[in-house]
């Protein structure tokens, strides 16, 4: 009679494992706990540091209800759009690295949804950027690298000019006896119209120009013989006078006088009159100094001689 060995309780079947008894369900592993939210992390960190809600609210200048809403993750009790800024502020104070909680951070409200990339748009952007870059490089090369000037003449014309040499300079004929070359030349001091007289005053002055009468009617001679003009500040008086003539000023100290292009030194003070005489070509005729007056000198008499005054009677006349 043969006996069969029964497997020991610890060895199991052919595979060496234990088989569950019939009628008992297999054990199902417990699901993993979901990660703690960002509000829970902030609350645990605050408690670990020994901070109360009132102290943290005072340091962050926030209200206690806002801190409670953040720790409870009651986002509806926070102002719209302020969820993430409040969490950053609290995390910076508590020293929490938000980069260690990417999943919790992505679940916070206020995240912007990114659009899917458009290949056509990216290609267009690359083409535009490349065109702008090429244009900038071309402009830079055009500015830096020297090129042919637009004003440069063609090669055949330049060769002909080099063969013939520079053209000789021919001065133009002047339009008058005094051509203008870069500036206005002064007027002619003396011409057929008369002598040039110019006056400029720094104050009011009465000027009178007299010339001798000529063989003309009396009305023309009177107008030509005397010309009066009141000089004012910065109002020059320029005219031509047939010489000879004379000029009289009642306030010569404030007048600058030029006759025939020459400055006349008046040498007077303010308020003093002055009179000057000029020849046919505008030459200044200096006034003649008067001859010195000689005082009569009484004849010398000898006191030892008797008085020979005929008015006094002599001794003979007294005796007779």
pLDDT tens figures, 89-146: 888 888 888 888 888 777 777 655 455 567 888 899 999 999 999 999 999 888 887 7
Interhelix angle for 53-60 vs 64-71, to 10°? 110
**Domain residues for 251?**
192-285
**Does residue 67 lie within any of the structural domains?**
yes
**Does residue 229 lie within any of the structural domains?**
yes
CATH number of the domain enclosing 70 = 1.10.260
Q: Pick from 79, 106, 133: which residue ends a domain? A: 106
**Does residue 201 lie within any of the structural domains?**
yes
- 250-255: long-range contacts, CB 8 A cutoff, minimum separation 24: 250/205, 250/206, 251/201, 251/203, 251/204, 251/205, 251/206, 252/205, 254/201, 254/202, 254/203, 254/205, 255/199, 255/200, 255/201, 255/202, 255/205, 255/207, 255/231
Q: How many other C-beta atoms lie within 10 A of the C-beta of residue 39?
A: 21
Over 70: is that where the pLDDT of 275 sits? Answer: yes
* The two structure tokens encoding residue 230: 């009141």
3 state DSSP class of 89: helix
Interhelix angle for 38-48 vs 83-94, to 10°? 30
Q: Pick from 106, 137, 162: which residue ends a domain? A: 106
Over 80: is that where the pLDDT of 55 sits? Answer: yes
**Does residue 319 lie within any of the structural domains?**
no
**Does residue 315 lie within any of the structural domains?**
no
Over 80: is that where the pLDDT of 209 sits? Answer: yes
What are 279-303's pLDDT values in tens digits? 888 888 887 766 666 666 666 666 6
User: What confidence tier does 261 reach under pLDDT thresholds 50, 70, 90?
Assistant: confident
**Does residue 186 lie within any of the structural domains?**
no
User: What confidence tier does 86 reach under pLDDT thresholds 50, 70, 90?
Assistant: confident
The DSSP string of 201-229 is: ESS-EEEEEE----SS-HHHHHHHHEEEE
More confident residue, 219 or 255: 255
**Does residue 132 lie within any of the structural domains?**
no
| pTM of the full structure | 0.35
Residue that is written with structure tokens 């009679």 in the block? 1
**Does residue 111 lie within any of the structural domains?**
no
Q: How many domains does the chain have?
A: 2
User: What confidence tier does 24 reach under pLDDT thresholds 50, 70, 90?
Assistant: low
């Amino acid at each position: 009679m043969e006996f069969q060995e029964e497997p020991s309780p610890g060895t199991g079947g052919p595979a060496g494992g234990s088989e569950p008894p019939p009628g008992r369900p297999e054990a199902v592993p417990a699901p993993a706990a979901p990660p703690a939210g960002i509000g829970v992390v902030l609350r645990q960190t605050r408690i670990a540091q020994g901070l109360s809600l009132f102290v943290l609210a005072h340091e962050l200048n926030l209200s206690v209800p806002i801190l409670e809403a953040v720790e409870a993750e009651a986002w509806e009790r926070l102002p719209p759009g302020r969820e993430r800024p409040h969490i950053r502020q609290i995390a910076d104070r508590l020293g929490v690295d938000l980069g260690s909680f990417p999943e919790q951070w992505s679940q916070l409200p206020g995240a912007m949804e990114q659009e899917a990339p458009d290949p056509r748009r990216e290609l267009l952007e690359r083409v535009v950027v490349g065109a702008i870059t090429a244009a900038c490089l071309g402009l830079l090369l055009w500015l830096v690298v020297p090129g042919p000037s637009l004003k440069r003449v063609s090669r055949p014309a330049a060769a002909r000019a080099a063969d013939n040499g520079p053209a000789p300079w021919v001065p133009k004929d002047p339009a008058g006896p005094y051509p203008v070359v870069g500036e206005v030349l002064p007027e002619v001091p003396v011409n057929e119209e008369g002598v040039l007289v110019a006056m400029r005053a720094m104050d009011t002055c009465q000027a009178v120009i007299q010339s001798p009468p000529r063989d003309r009617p009396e009305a023309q001679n009177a107008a030509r013989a005397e010309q009066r003009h009141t000089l004012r500040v910065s109002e020059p008086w320029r005219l031509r006078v047939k010489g000879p003539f004379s000029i009289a000023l009642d306030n010569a100290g404030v007048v600058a006088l030029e006759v025939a292009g020459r400055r006349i030194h008046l040498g007077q003070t303010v308020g003093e009159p002055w009179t000057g005489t000029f020849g046919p070509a505008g030459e200044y005729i200096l006034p003649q100094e008067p001859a010195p007056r000689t005082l009569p000198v009484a004849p010398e008499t000898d006191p030892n001689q008797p008085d020979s005054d005929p008015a006094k009677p002599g001794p003979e006349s007294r005796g007779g």
